[in-house]
Amino acid sequence: MNKNVTGTQSIWMGAGVESTSPPLDRSLETDVCIVGAGIAGLSTAYSLSCEGKSVVVLDDGPVAGGMTERTTAHLSNAIDEGYVTIERLHGEQGARLVADSHTAAINRIETIIAAERLACDFERVDGFLFPAPGQQLERLEEERLAALRAGLTDVVRVERPSGPVLEPGGCLRFPNQAQFHPLKFMAGLAQAIARCGGRIFTNIHAETVKDGKQVTIETRQGHIIRAQSLVVATNTPINDMFVVHTKQASYTTYVIGAGVPKDSVPTALYWDQADPYHYARIQKDASTDGHEVLIVGGEDHKTGQADDGDERCQRLERWARKRFPMMEQIKYRWSGQVMEPMDGLALIGRNPGDASNVYVATGDSGMGMTHGMIAGMLITDLIQGRTNGWAELYDPSRKSLKSIGTFVQENVNVAAQYADWISSGDIESEDHIPKDTGAVLRNGAQKMAVYRDEDGQLHRRSAVCPHLKCIVAWDSMEHTWNCPCHGSRFDAYGKVINGPANSDLSQI
């Protein structure tokens, strides 16, 4: 999601990432083309270009202008779903590989930072996992034992933490987690890729991709990239209509950032086991005169199925003030989207249904920083023809019968969204749309997405999502049109900013 086109700014956005290549003005041939310059795309580009492959990265915004600039950047091997669930879905050996791969991802980030001398506020910190309110405390102990079986032998139960207490009843301490400034990291990574000969072209939209022995990518600007391999790292794939999108669901998550006095909250990662869960961390912020920023997130809901971002941020604030009484004024508020896979693990590898030289990285949940780094290591091995022990675990073609309940539930939810075709609009007349606001209106058999800009001028688009034709909904906090089915997002004027749709809302 591009900062220029949405309603909020994350704490990281001040540190913009400069483009490292001149504008793309001709067609090109390359070993590997990567679409998407978020953490998944650039970590893959870094590994491959440093191993001598010729690499071209295309992004239709700036570097890291998607979800990577909206993250909270916890770097953790305490998997979101919890090791109890991961072990149930993927077995004890699978859980070991999960712990191993996320630990390796944090180590890889640290190694790159040291090798490339990146100043990006990287710090090793502890992570503290608290129970959900009212939850039986045995669940925490079960989680500790499952983490232990997964190989995280240094996870311990702490009865009285020295820092904040999110919920009473003790917590688990996960040592050796980390945090960093994601945009400073991405800026350094982009420069390292350029030094290794990789080329990153920004503001270039990949319009169509055709698989085959040689993959062909046509850009909106009319240039053709021919490549031996293609990596689609667009957060949610733009080259797949169905298969992958039935295996993951898009959720919007909210974040607030408030000043706190320096050193009043120990620098650590904090989460609870609520559903949806809360997450918190501390960030040193140059603009805060010795103060720090407490970043708190949560209040997730299915994308496009609620428009109450302000209330959700207020609930986050109330939750946080109770647990962090030193909190001062709110300085930041933003939201973003995570792709929740049905079985808790990202989908990384060969794209089902395409030739074997087309790869995707998606389904990264709230662990997209480490999942993105895993994508960089795993896809590099696949392209280089090396065996990788994580390949089967993350294979996008995998079938998990044990997660069939979630699969059915999420896909029934998608099917229910088509009822929007026959419902009335949000309002009766466009005269009732205030300035800088959008609404869906019925126009005979059609539905229109109408935005009234700050000057009062109306912009009308079809409300039908170009992906699989659900009806989009207005997001008052981000000023975007969001699709309730698979999470496509469009700016106020209908320009696509998040897949799986790859074209704009059509003109009326």
Ligand X SMILES: Cc1cc2nc3c(=O)[nH]c(=O)nc-3n(C[C@H](O)[C@H](O)[C@H](O)COP(=O)(O)OP(=O)(O)OC[C@H]3O[C@@H](n4cnc5c(N)ncnc54)[C@H](O)[C@@H]3O)c2cc1C
Three-state secondary structure readout of 315-358: HHHHHHHHHCCCCCCEEEEEEEEEEEECCCCCEEEECCCCCCCE
Residue 144 touches ligand FES, criterion: CB under 6 A: no
From candidates 345, 369, 377, 440, binder to ligand X by CB under 6 A = 369
CB-based contacts of 222: which residues, under 8 Å, 6+ apart? none
From candidates 3, 11, 12, 70, binder to ligand X by CB under 6 A = 70
Which of 60, 113, 405, 112 lies closest to 238 in space, CA to CA?
60
From candidates 499, 500, 501, 505, binder to ligand X by CB under 6 A = 499
Residue 6 touches ligand FES, criterion: CB under 6 A: no
Tokens standing for residue 160 = 């009285």
Residue 344 touches ligand X, criterion: CB under 6 A: no
Cis peptide before 500 (omega within 30 of 0): yes
Query: Tokens 């993105």 identify what position?
Result: 372
- When CB distances to ligand X are compared, the closest residue is 368
Q: Which is nearer to ligand X, 79 or 449 (CB)?
A: 79
Nearest-10 Cα torsion for 402, 403, 409, 413: -150
CB of 472 to ligand FES, least distance (A): 7
In angstroms, the CA 381 to CA 388 distance is 6
In angstroms, the CA 234 to CA 399 distance is 23
Judged by beta carbon distances under 5 to 8 A according to partner kind, the member of ligand X, ligand FES, none in contact with residue 164 is none
Residue 237 touches ligand FES, criterion: CB under 6 A: no
Pairing of strands 269-272, 480-482: unpaired
CB of 274 to ligand FES, least distance (A): 27
In angstroms, the CA 418 to CA 319 distance is 35
CB of 361 to ligand X, least distance (A): 6
In angstroms, the CA 187 to CA 405 distance is 41
According to CB under 6 A, which residues from 462 to 501 bind ligand FES? 465, 467-470, 483, 485-488, 500-501
Judged by beta carbon distances under 5 to 8 A according to partner kind, the member of ligand X, ligand FES, none in contact with residue 485 is ligand FES
CB-based contacts of 453: which residues, under 8 Å, 6+ apart? 435, 436, 459, 492
CB of 304 to ligand FES, least distance (A): 8
The 10 Å Cβ neighbour count of residue 475 is 23
From candidates 32, 55, 67, 86, binder to ligand X by CB under 6 A = 67
Judged by beta carbon distances under 5 to 8 A according to partner kind, the member of ligand X, ligand FES, none in contact with residue 500 is ligand FES
Judged by beta carbon distances under 5 to 8 A according to partner kind, the member of ligand X, ligand FES, none in contact with residue 247 is none
CB of 28 to ligand FES, least distance (A): 30
Residue 74 touches ligand X, criterion: CB under 6 A: yes
- Segment lying near ligand X (by CB under 6 A), choices 159-167, 223-231, 330-338, 425-433: 330-338
Residue 247 touches ligand FES, criterion: CB under 6 A: no
CB of 29 to ligand X, least distance (A): 19
From candidates 234, 250, 357, 482, binder to ligand X by CB under 6 A = 234
Residue 181 touches ligand FES, criterion: CB under 6 A: no
Q: In what order do the strands lie in the sheet with 446-452?
A: 437-443, 446-452, 458-462
In angstroms, the CA 337 to CA 245 distance is 15
According to CB under 6 A, which residues from 286 to 345 bind ligand FES? none
Judged by beta carbon distances under 5 to 8 A according to partner kind, the member of ligand FES, ligand X, none in contact with residue 209 is none
CB of 389 to ligand X, least distance (A): 21
Which of 10, 316, 56, 90 lies closest to 193 in space, CA to CA?
56
Judged by beta carbon distances under 5 to 8 A according to partner kind, the member of ligand X, ligand FES, none in contact with residue 235 is ligand X
CB of 273 to ligand FES, least distance (A): 30
* Contact present, 128 and 175 (Cβ < 8 Å): no
CB-based contacts of 143: which residues, under 8 Å, 6+ apart? 82, 83, 84, 129, 172, 273
Judged by beta carbon distances under 5 to 8 A according to partner kind, the member of ligand X, ligand FES, none in contact with residue 304 is none
Q: Which is nearer to ligand X, 331 or 460 (CB)?
A: 331
From candidates 259, 336, 344, 487, binder to ligand X by CB under 6 A = 336
Which of 503, 301, 373, 342 lies closest to 75 in space, CA to CA?
373
In angstroms, the CA 297 to CA 293 distance is 13
DSSP single-letter state for residue 286: G
* Contact present, 141 and 190 (Cβ < 8 Å): no
Which of 34, 37, 40, 1 lies closest to 369 in space, CA to CA?
40
Residue 449 touches ligand FES, criterion: CB under 6 A: no
Write out the residues near ligand X by the rule CB under 6 A.
Answer: 35-41, 58-61, 65-68, 70-74, 205-206, 233-235, 238, 253, 255, 297, 336-338, 361, 364, 366-370, 372, 499, 502
User: Contact residues for ligand FES (CB under 6 A)?
Assistant: 465, 467-470, 483, 485-488, 500-501
